[in-house]
Amino acid sequence: MVTGAPAGESAIGTVDYDDESFSLSSNQCVISAPQESMLERGVFVKIGNTDQPYFIGQIIEGPFYTSRYSETHGRYVAELISYIDRDSVRAVLSRPAPGTEVRTVESGQVQSLLGVSGSMYMGYVTTDRKVSVMMDSATLTRHVGVFGTTGSGKSNTIQVFMEEASKKDFAVLVFDVEGEYIFMDRPTDRLIERLETFGLKPAGARDFRVYVPYPSFTHRVGAERFAVKFCNVDIDVFSEVAGLSRLEQLYFQDLIEKVAAVTPETKPVTLKAIIDRLAQRLKGQAEYATMPPFIVEVNTTLYSKLRLISGLNIVDADAEGISMDEIFKEGRISVLDLSDASDYVRNIVIADLLSKVFKYKVENPESPKLLIVIEEAHTFISREKRDRMMATMMLIIETARRGRKRGLSLGIVTQQPAHLPSEILELCNTRIIHRISSTANIEVLKESTGNVPEGLWSTVPSLGRGEAIIATPKYSRALPVTMRPTMSMRVVME
Ligand SMILES: Nc1ncnc2c1ncn2[C@@H]1O[C@H](COP(=O)(O)OP(=O)(O)OP(=O)(O)O)[C@@H](O)[C@H]1O
Ligand SMILES: [Mg+2]
């Protein structure tokens, strides 16, 4: 229930006359407040002379010093969010008259009005630290994008998501391109005092695994090594990663069929068998030429491209694939350390796992929900690589689109939202926007994020570390949030 203004609470300002210089819309009004009232953009206020009815407004612009009182008073633009009458929330169909009193709103009321309730603890509203920002785990049935320039706090934020999701019995899978999350089972050794101001103590993840591609190095002792089985790989994605031309891909598919036809059903088709068969074909050609030269050329380049992938030692290497039964465990966080992996290995691994995860979820609908974190997303799924990486991208888009209803959610982290394909960006409807200075990156987010007032966008280039704007359909409006630090450890690269 929404309660009225406590009796006796004094006004901090009043509604002022409209002023053409603000080009107000009909759900905005001007507020004049003495400088000591310390109003800031983002703050919520109650506008009304009596207990009820009253308006709830949010300061979105100002202070401006345009009136004759400007030495003592600042003027602000407030957006009228709701109208409270007899304890119920109504649409805003009118505006308060000049002289109407303005008061602060208590934090509990702000929380319920904004919809910032739930059991995932993210931080507090920057303009009112009494208001804790919570998220409902249902937010993770949609996808999350975390954006911001280097050092703005993206990794901390996504790690907070991982901690909270795993507490809500999600399974978490992280493609860790920097090797930052490989010690999340340990309590953090940094920002401890700050963490305490949020009422939290250092604590490591309770159920935790680290995996590393068979040929790569990791700092995590005891990490499980894994390989990718050729027989399970999506051939379109594989061809793309290998950089095969259309013609090479046709010959490749033909070879796979021929090798499959002579492989016993109990045995998998291996990349080695494909390469051997191709080698034989080329050798035969050298001895007794039957193919036209341009086909020989196609087969020769195909051979060298397949040899290159085979030389990476990740496909059919002497290690098991990652078991999906191990990934889909309630509360478990699984980290794939890809910090030492080449682009090829990284892309093969990500594509392979995404398709396995999706397949598993379809076959096991009762398995736990899964949050899949993709860090530095722009480095391997970018607009520039869009045409060359179509199959990989379609796989991600399909996983995102069709996985959503099945309990698969993506956490996409990038410092370059402008380089992300728009399909991927649009799928992230919960957005955490940290400091960004590049106009191109801000613009692309602006175009596709609704409900963020201009006054909040203008704060984006000056946000401090760990500060962000959160826009999510779950909240009635976008909010400036100070994120909490993580409880678990992260290897910080500075
Ligand atoms: N919510 C927060 N509160 C306090 N300090 C924070 C917060 N978030 C991040 N920091 C600090 O800011 C620094 C950068 O944070 P982080 O590594 O998360 O940024 P990033 O955006 O992921 O950077 P990069 O682009 O380099 O990956 C770290 O030292 C971290 O401890
Ligand atoms: Mg980071």
- What span, in angstroms and rounded, lies between the C-alpha atoms of 225 and 223? 6
End-to-end CA distance of the chain: 47
Nearest-atom index, ligand 1, CA of 152? 21
Task: Give pTM, 2 decimals.
Answer: 0.85
Q: Closest-lying ligand to the alpha carbon of 151?
A: 1
Q: The tokens of 40 are what?
A: 């800031």
For 318-341, the pLDDT digits (tens) are 899 999 999 999 999 999 999 999
Contact 254, 272 (CB under 8 A): no
Q: For residue 69, what pLDDT is reported?
A: 67
- What span, in angstroms and rounded, lies between the C-alpha atoms of 336 and 224? 9
Contact 172, 332 (CB under 8 A): yes
Kindly list the protein residues whose Cβ atom lies closer than 6 A to any atom of ligand 1.
148, 150-156, 190-191, 194, 415, 465-466, 483, 485, 492
For 265-302, the pLDDT digits (tens) are 899 999 999 999 999 999 998 898 888 899 999 999 99
Q: Strand ranges (DSSP E) for 267-332?
A: none
Cα(416) to ligand 2 centroid in Å equals 12
CA of 297: how far to CAs of 183, 249, 282, 302, in Å? 48, 13, 10, 8
Does residue 140 surpass a pLDDT of 70?
Answer: yes
- What span, in angstroms and rounded, lies between the C-alpha atoms of 147 and 375? 10
Compute the average pLDDT of residues 41-54.
Answer: 90
In a mutational test of the pocket of ligand 1, which residue from 155, 159, 184, 188 has the highest number of ligand atoms less than 8 Å from its CB?
Answer: 155
CA of 41: how far to CAs of 36, 48, 61, 291, in Å? 15, 20, 6, 73
Nearest-atom index, ligand 1, CA of 434? 21
For 156-197, the pLDDT digits (tens) are 999 999 999 999 989 999 999 999 999 999 999 999 999 999
In a mutational test of the pocket of ligand 1, which residue from 180, 465, 486, 494 has the highest number of ligand atoms less than 8 Å from its CB?
Answer: 465
